[in-house]
Chains A and B, each alone.
Chain A
Amino acid sequence: MQEKTNEMIKIFIDKEPVDAEEGTTVLKAAERAGIHIPHLCYHPAFPPEGSCRMCLVEIEGFPKLELACSTVVKEEMKISTKSERVVEARKAVLEFLLAEHPLDCPICDKAGDCKLQDYYDEYGLFESQFKEAKEKREKKLKIGKSLILDQERCILCTRCVRFLKEVTKTQDLGVFHRGVHSSVNIYEGASVENNYSGNLAEICPVGAITDEDFRFKTRSWFLKEGESICPLCSRGCNILIEYHPGFSRFELPKRVYRIKARENPEVNGFWICDRGRYGYSYLDERRADQIIMNKKEGENELTCENISRHLGEKIKNLSSARKTSGIALILHTWLSNEELFLLHEIFKNDLKVEKIFFADLPDGEADGFLLTSEPSPNRRGAQEIGFDIKTVDLGALADGTDFLLAFGPFLSGLFSSKDLRGALDKIKTKVLFSSNSNELNSLFDVVIPVALIAEKEGSLTNVEGIVQGFQPVLEPPGESLPEWKVLSDLGKELGMDSKFYSEFTSPEAILSEMGKKIPFFKKKND
């Protein structure tokens, strides 16, 4: 959905000339010009609803205030977004909303992140004139696997109702009753169980729908956010990772508190699935943060810094025939394009290694919307780079192998410990790069802790062939480091084409080199 290149027309917003796309709305034209017009019910994913009345603006020649969300711009239209009349009308809307609002911000998850709170702050901090009894409603309705609805906080923007009608088409929620008794509720016997339920808490502009995964866990203003890509399937949905930088006086059990959708019309629109939203515990749980040595390696202590030299020497010591048949690789498709490319260059192109296997989580089921059947983010990238994605075969793996370089924690899920141990025992030297600890830790000679996608830089190729870059959001824990770093050092160490490898000081440099060698990556990169 590329932005359409419609004719541009001139309008005036708050006396300033502004170029607006013909056919667009006042709200979108203003947004484009960097002017935020307050709104609660409007959400860019849906047609204008026009019910909250927050986006009223004054337009010359119109007797009444008009909705910015639905009014289409006309040549020379003169719009005022902050005249006294407009401000008074917005204040009035806020006064109405707050009159029947419980004002329980101190115990509301949305506090600090709440449009109602923000607009009240912006429009006057007036005193309540409401002297009557507020309507009593349900404050803790469980409406889905992880969602709680507080009808008193609800401002009836109906974003949730429309999401379930238009996106998931499950229509679990509706507006019940009329007038001031109107309330959002779940239909009898229904429950929001679909794989996109978490989006409801996210699009709720206030704290009416909260998510049990986040509820009462922390305050939103402690959290920092960073842009990333969801690695849990090959869609590669764009996400925001919200993490807690920690308190100075005591440690927190985890860093990441919430994953949110980040808009990308080409990949995921405004949404992410529940698998991606709630499946973030791997970022903090059982993280490998120190090098583990199960077998003494000569005099020198191995460290993450000298590991590539160590590996390089091991490889150099093999005869050239043994290099081809004695080395085996186990890869996975959480590795970035750049990492997979380096692996391909070093092991497949230069060393002519034959035994290259992949160990990923087993395929799941696609849900027909965003979630794909491939539970890793870069299978397409591996294919485009030239790998044949073969699952590990333990017999073939161990057969005549001296040296195994394995990546990822996923091998443990594919075989029983007994079978794994049986096969690995036959291999003399075996090194594992893994982000998360599991039983594999004891099966390898050396385990090197590595960074996750959220902690490093690189790019991924999603199921549709869209190459998406990512930057580190979190610090890699302890000694862990990104694989691309180890691999580019290893390339240098092996001295195969030292000039080639010495230029790889960043994933960006690797990707641009990839573009020269593989047309697929050039096209996407331009």
Chain B
Amino acid sequence: MKEKVLTEHFGLENLYKIDVYQKQGGYRATEKALKKMKPEEILEEVKKANLRGRGGAGFPAGVKWSFVPDTDKPKYLCVNADEGEPGTFKDRYIMSHNPHMLIEGIIITSFCVGISVAFIYIRGEYEAIALRLEQAISEAYEKGFLGKNILESGFDLDVFVHRGAGAYICGEETALLESLEGKRGNPRLKPPFPASVGLFQCPTVINNVETISNISHIILNGAEWFIKQGLPKDGGTRIFGVSGMVKNPGIYELPLGTSLKDIIFKHAGGMKEGKKLKAVIPGGMSAPILTADEINIKMDFDSLVEANSMLGSAGIIVIDDKTSILDVLKVVTKFYSHESCGQCTPCRIGNSWINKIVKRIAEGKGKKEDIDSILRLASNIEGNTLCPLGDAAAMPILSITKKFRKELESHL
């Protein structure tokens, strides 16, 4: 039986308070992990659960943790709560409805990896949520779930909330580290990867809010149960954020592997009155676009890769037939051009150049060769940049331009 994992108690009043959370069984996972399990056992369980990162790239969390070297240096956990990907609004629900679930995940992860300082890097605009997190953290300190010698296990942990300043790029894990260190949020060259050289040059685990929020459930119910909630290679559920021209936009927690068609037409109530489906961006704006004919597809990491798109942050943007694809392209190119950190050449100049072309087309001054130029420039960005933002920009631009070339040409 598949069930809701993360959002199960979201309807409950005052769930964000520790007493209410504990009445629902909250912090039992923490007790189990710290009192009954060894760090290696936790790691084994998380690996077996095939919990793939919910931030975008879908990297298995347990494998990532196992890359942290055994050193005397301090180790850090950074929870990525920057939630900047357009069309993505799931982490905010988790943090505002159930902050203690995230804190539990942080405690268990830190215990497992040997971390004693954790940061939650939260999108600057989420001011109220940051306050809520801070309240929840202080409750957890009061109850002895944070601080020194947690539950008499000898394990210490401090958690800090750090608010970002509004740059999308600071959601990229290494830019996040720079920003957290008080610097300009420029992505770092990899390798070294943060697991070995991260925050303040120390080993660092970076995971998305939703990824970490799954941990307590895996500990309580086991990896086998977790896999049953989703797919063998892609355990658990996803919180799909559906926006755009559907009747009921919002978040839907569903098993990995749920069909995109069902999400749009069953769960989100189908298209708004009088609107017809034209295209879907299935995993946040960076994911390559799918046409209306391509939505008979399972929503999990591997199926979307097969369809030349990606599950990304699972933010589903539904586009109707009255929406001009040129407008979509304009929004997409403006966003990446604006959000490029500017560090590396192809992304800095390529995205701005493409955006300039698209704006010119929108002004009615398009030229015959413009479409080919967009394709050429985007391909020259793809794969050639310092951080994945270059690809994140090139992929949607290429897919939109290829799949809707005819419509774009009608504007020339």
Q: Residues 130-167 of chain A: 1 if any B CB is under 8 Å from the residue's CB, otherwise 0?
A: 11110100000000000000000001100000000000
Interface stretch among A179-187, A204-212, A276-284, A473-481?
A179-187
Answer yes or no: B259 CB below 8 A from chain A CBs.
no
User: Known: A51-B344, A53-B344, A132-B360. Is A178-B383 also a contact (CB below 8 A)?
Assistant: no
Residues of A within 8 A of B360 (CB): 131-132
User: Known: A50-B344, A129-B373, A156-B343. Is A100-B383 also a contact (CB below 8 A)?
Assistant: no
Interface size class of chain B, counting residues whose CB lies under 8 Å from the partner chain: 20 to 34
How far, in whole Å, are A88 and B349 apart by their CA atoms in the complex? 17
Answer yes or no: A466 CB below 8 A from chain B CBs.
no
Q: Are B341 and A92 touching (Cβ within 8 A)?
A: no
Segment 335-372 of B: residues with Cβ below 8 Å from A: 337-346, 348-353, 356-357, 360, 367
Q: Residues 164-187 of chain B: 1 if any A CB is under 8 Å from the residue's CB, otherwise 0?
A: 000101000000000000001000
Other-chain residue from B340, B353, B384 in contact with A89 (beta carbon distance below 8 A): B384
Minimum Cβ distance to chain A for residue B166 (Å): 11
Q: Mostly helix, strand, loop or mixed at chain B's interface?
A: helix
Other-chain residue from B338, B345, B367 in contact with A53 (beta carbon distance below 8 A): B345
Of the listed residues A88, A92, A100, A130, the one surrounded by the most CB atoms of chain B closer than 10 A to its CB is A92
How far, in whole Å, are A436 and B287 apart by their CA atoms in the complex? 72
Q: Are A56 and B384 touching (Cβ within 8 A)?
A: yes
How far, in whole Å, are A97 and B339 apart by their CA atoms in the complex? 19
Other-chain residue from B339, B343, B346 in contact with A93 (beta carbon distance below 8 A): B346
How far, in whole Å, are A181 and B386 apart by their CA atoms in the complex? 18
Answer yes or no: A52 CB below 8 A from chain B CBs.
yes
Q: Are B349 and A96 touching (Cβ within 8 A)?
A: yes
Residue of A nearest to B351 (CB): A179
Q: Are B342 and A99 touching (Cβ within 8 A)?
A: no
Answer yes or no: A65 CB below 8 A from chain B CBs.
yes
Residues of A within 8 A of B373 (CB): 129
Q: Are B342 and A177 touching (Cβ within 8 A)?
A: yes
Answer yes or no: B138 CB below 8 A from chain A CBs.
no
Q: Residues 318-350 of chain B: 1 if any A CB is under 8 Å from the residue's CB, otherwise 0?
A: 000000000000000000011111111110111
Interface size class of chain A, counting residues whose CB lies under 8 Å from the partner chain: 35 or more
Residue of B nearest to A133 (CB): B356
Minimum Cβ distance to chain A for residue B380 (Å): 4
How far, in whole Å, are A97 and B184 apart by their CA atoms in the complex? 23
Answer yes or no: A64 CB below 8 A from chain B CBs.
yes
Q: Are A175 and B342 touching (Cβ within 8 A)?
A: yes
Residue of B nearest to A70 (CB): B189
Residue of A nearest to B167 (CB): A178
Other-chain residue from A65, A95, A96, A129 in contact with B383 (beta carbon distance below 8 A): A65
How far, in whole Å, are A97 and B352 apart by their CA atoms in the complex? 12
Q: Residues 192-204 of chain B: 1 if any A CB is under 8 Å from the residue's CB, otherwise 0?
A: 0000000000000
Q: Are A99 and B349 touching (Cβ within 8 A)?
A: yes
Q: Residues 168-192 of chain A: 1 if any B CB is under 8 Å from the residue's CB, otherwise 0?
A: 0000001101111110000000000
Minimum Cβ distance to chain A for residue B172 (Å): 13
User: Known: A130-B353, A132-B356. Is A92-B380 also a contact (CB below 8 A)?
Assistant: yes
Segment 95-138 of A: residues with Cβ below 8 Å from B: 95-97, 99-100, 129-133, 135
Segment 25-67 of A: residues with Cβ below 8 Å from B: 48-54, 56, 64-65, 67
Q: Residues 63-80 of chain A: 1 if any B CB is under 8 Å from the residue's CB, otherwise 0?
A: 011010010000000000
How far, in whole Å, are A70 and B339 apart by their CA atoms in the complex? 25
How far, in whole Å, are A156 and B186 apart by their CA atoms in the complex? 13
Q: Mostly helix, strand, loop or mixed at chain A's interface?
A: loop
Answer yes or no: B385 CB below 8 A from chain A CBs.
yes
How far, in whole Å, are A51 and B347 apart by their CA atoms in the complex? 10
Q: Residues 266-305 of chain A: 1 if any B CB is under 8 Å from the residue's CB, otherwise 0?
A: 0000000000000000000000000000000000000000
User: Known: A96-B346, A155-B345. Is A180-B386 also a contact (CB below 8 A)?
Assistant: no
Q: Are B342 and A181 touching (Cβ within 8 A)?
A: yes
How far, in whole Å, are A181 and B344 apart by their CA atoms in the complex? 13
Segment 43-88 of B: residues with Cβ below 8 Å from A: none
Q: Are A179 and B337 touching (Cβ within 8 A)?
A: yes
Of the listed residues B189, B337, B349, the one surrounded by the most CB atoms of chain A closer than 10 A to its CB is B349
Minimum Cβ distance to chain A for residue B280 (Å): 27
Q: Are A179 and B383 touching (Cβ within 8 A)?
A: no
Q: Are B380 and A96 touching (Cβ within 8 A)?
A: yes
How far, in whole Å, are A96 and B373 apart by their CA atoms in the complex? 13
Segment 250-275 of A: residues with Cβ below 8 Å from B: none
Segment 382-397 of B: residues with Cβ below 8 Å from A: 383-386
Minimum Cβ distance to chain B for residue A84 (Å): 14
Q: Residues 320-346 of chain A: 1 if any B CB is under 8 Å from the residue's CB, otherwise 0?
A: 000000000000000000000000000
Minimum Cβ distance to chain B for residue A235 (Å): 33
Minimum Cβ distance to chain A for residue B4 (Å): 38
User: Known: A179-B339, A182-B342. Is A51-B386 also a contact (CB below 8 A)?
Assistant: yes
How far, in whole Å, are A56 and B380 apart by their CA atoms in the complex? 12
Residues of B within 8 A of A156 (CB): 342-343, 345, 348
Minimum Cβ distance to chain A for residue B163 (Å): 19
Residues of B within 8 A of A88 (CB): 380
User: Known: A89-B380, A95-B380, A133-B356. Is A51-B340 also a contact (CB below 8 A)?
Assistant: no
Minimum Cβ distance to chain A for residue B366 (Å): 11
Q: Are A180 and B352 touching (Cβ within 8 A)?
A: yes
Residues of B within 8 A of A49 (CB): 189
Residues of A within 8 A of B356 (CB): 132-133
Residues of B within 8 A of A64 (CB): 383-384
Q: Are A96 and B342 touching (Cβ within 8 A)?
A: no
How far, in whole Å, are A193 and B373 apart by their CA atoms in the complex? 45
Residues of A within 8 A of B346 (CB): 53, 92-93, 96
How far, in whole Å, are A396 and B135 apart by their CA atoms in the complex? 85
Of the listed residues A49, A50, A54, A156, the one surrounded by the most CB atoms of chain B closer than 10 A to its CB is A50
Residue of B nearest to A71 (CB): B191
Q: Are A180 and B189 touching (Cβ within 8 A)?
A: no
Interface residues of A (CB under 8 A from B): 48-54, 56, 64-65, 67, 70, 88-89, 92-93, 95-97, 99-100, 129-133, 135, 155-156, 174-175, 177-182
Interface residues of B (CB under 8 A from A): 167, 169, 184, 189, 337-346, 348-353, 356-357, 360, 367, 373, 380, 383-386
The 5 closest A-B CB pairs, nearest first, are A182-B342, A180-B352, A92-B380, A132-B356, A96-B349
Could you list 5 further interchain pairs (A-B, Cβ under 8 angstroms) beyond the known A131-B367, A178-B339, A178-B341?
A53-B345, A64-B383, A135-B352, A179-B340, A180-B351
